[in-house]
Structure 1
Amino acid sequence: MTTETDEAIVRGMASGDRGALARAFDRYAATLTRYAWALVDDRQDVEEIVQDAFLTLWQRAATLELPADTMLPWLLVVCRNHAFNAGRKRTKHRADELPETLPAPEDHSEARERLRWVRDEIAALPELDRRICEMCLLDGRSYADAAAALGLSVGAVTQRVSRNRRRLRKVVMQDEH
């Protein structure tokens, strides 16, 4: 059994294959959703950010090159940009100004470099918090699974995830300024 490569999926989207977009969504939506939750607290914002990231992928498929054979770093940067734009939009609407938008990354190396902070921040957490973030935010395990694996209560895991999301969100905002 061979698995379709991300490059083949992107080529399919570039030729108008909506099924390719569905396959990209099936492959990466859960990861982008977990990542978006680390950036925003509102379910509607998370859904919009993820949808906007896949719309951007669809629109950019014809010019997108994947030197690392995966679209995930590019999608994560796009997701982060949409989350940042959503935050700026709320702030600027209060001031009755139009929001600016951040461009999608032009190449994979830019995406990888711009996501460097995620790995650095998670690696800098105390060991228990790092393990919880890796399990729940990166690997997609449930809070109950993480709690059982680490010998903690679900409430303790929930509290630590929430605290680390706020920490990561603060770092995102500082990184952008």
Structure 2
Amino acid sequence: MTTETGGAIVRAMAEGDRTALARAFDRYAPTLTRYAWALVDDRQDVEEVVQDSFLTLWQRSSTLELPAETVLPWLLVVCRNHAFNAGRKRSRHRADELPETLAAPDDHTEAAEQLRWVRAEIAALPDLDRRICELCLLEGHSYAEAADLLGLTVGAITQRVSRNRRRLKKVVMHDGH
């Protein structure tokens, strides 16, 4: 039985240690596989979700800040997100199989208008909140990267992103945009 923590494995990955990824896979793949089966019902999707979760871990290892020395809670959230995306892909695939009258329109004008509107709402935020949303939500920076760029703690970034997501969602849901 190994005593190496998940945090130590992630730090080794951040240094480029590919065997650390293998150790993480050996330790956490069975749990993630069981969890993925609870979220998706196709073997190929389960395998893809688990593989994508570990790929995300590898890609994010250098910026990942774990609140404890375990990576499992983070992996479970990533797994859930990948499972959700797999479900959306499957839904889009089914939409492609629908008769032409029921398929989604090819015109992306409405989507572009919604994106313009969301960007306008973000632009109206106070300067610090606007910059945080731009970095994390639009440019894809991690919370740790945004914290470094702005001289804040990861906790402050997390709190502000969460608050602004709720605000934007509330405005979207109640404003009919």
Shorter-chain TM-score category? 0.5 to 0.7
Instruction: Using structure 2 for the length normalisation, give the TM-score.
Output: 0.53
Distance 1:70 1:106, change over 3 A: farther
For structure 1, the residue ranges without an aligned partner over 5 or more in a row are 111-177
Distance 1:2 1:34, change over 3 A: closer
Which residue is 2:29 aligned to?
A: 29
Structure 1 position 2, deviation (Å): 6.1
For residues 35-54 of structure 1, the aligned pairs below 5 Å read 35-54=35-54
Structure 1 position 90, deviation (Å): 1.5
> Residue deviations 1:82-105, cap 9 Å, x none?
0000110111234457xxxx98x8
The code of the aligned residue for 1:49 comes to V
The code of the aligned residue for 1:32 comes to L
For residues 62-101 of structure 1, the aligned pairs below 5 Å read 62-95=62-95
Q: Does 1:20 align with 2:20?
A: yes
Q: Distance in 2 between matches of 1:86 and 1:79?
A: 10
For residues 60-139 of structure 1, the aligned pairs below 5 Å read 60-95=60-95
Which protein, 1 or 2, shows the higher relative CO under an 8 Å CA cutoff with sep ≥ 6?
Answer: 1
Q: Distance in 2 between matches of 1:2 and 1:95?
A: 47
Which residue is 1:3 aligned to?
A: 3
Q: Distance in 1 between matches of 2:89 and 2:45?
A: 12
The 3-state SS of whatever aligns with 2:51 is: helix
Structure 1 position 80, deviation (Å): 0.4
The code of the aligned residue for 1:62 comes to S
RMSD: 2.9
Instruction: Using structure 1 for the length normalisation, give the TM-score.
Output: 0.53
Q: Distance in 2 between matches of 1:90 and 1:37?
A: 16
Q: Distance in 2 between matches of 1:2 and 1:38?
A: 28
Q: Distance in 1 between matches of 2:2 and 2:57?
A: 23
For structure 2, the residue ranges without an aligned partner over 5 or more in a row are 97-103, 105-136, 145-153, 159-177
Structure 1 position 106, deviation (Å): 5.1
Distance 1:54 1:67, change over 3 A: same
Distance 1:40 1:2, change over 3 A: closer
The code of the aligned residue for 2:18 comes to R
Structure 1 position 58, deviation (Å): 0.2
The code of the aligned residue for 1:6 comes to G
Structure 1 position 66, deviation (Å): 1.1
Which residue is 1:121 aligned to?
A: none
